Amino acid sequence: MFTDKEEMFVFMSRLDFLEMENKKLRNKVLHMSNQTAFLERSLQNMKSLHFAEVPGTVKSTSSLYKDYDLKLFLSLLFSHSSTVLSN
């Protein structure tokens, strides 16, 4: 069996490990939350731009998924993601 000192060392090591894992998970959650907020703003901007293209008409939101809109959205996503990941 372990001595008291060894048990304390094992306990403290495990505690340190769990604290580091918790910190990593908090950072990942924060990063994903920021990405979600960015994507929501990007989608709203795309909708605004799309509806502004033809004054006086209301287009279906399904038209947002045309190739051009999807490529623009993905380029915005990846340009932002690479900026966030490099920080």
Q: Where are the domains of the chain?
A: 4-86
What pLDDT sits at residue 18? 97
Rounded distance between C-alpha atoms, residue 15 and residue 3, angstroms: 18
Task: Decide which of 64 and 54 is more confident.
Answer: 54
Rounded distance between C-alpha atoms, residue 17 and residue 83, angstroms: 29
What pLDDT sits at residue 55? 55
What is the mean predicted confidence (pLDDT) over 59-72? 56
CB distance 34 to 84 below 8 Å: yes
Q: What pTM was computed for the model?
A: 0.53
For a pLDDT cut of 90, what percent of the chain falls above it? 39
What pLDDT sits at residue 20? 97
Rounded distance between C-alpha atoms, residue 71 and residue 55, angstroms: 23
Rounded distance between C-alpha atoms, residue 43 and residue 37, angstroms: 10
Rounded distance between C-alpha atoms, residue 18 and residue 12, angstroms: 10
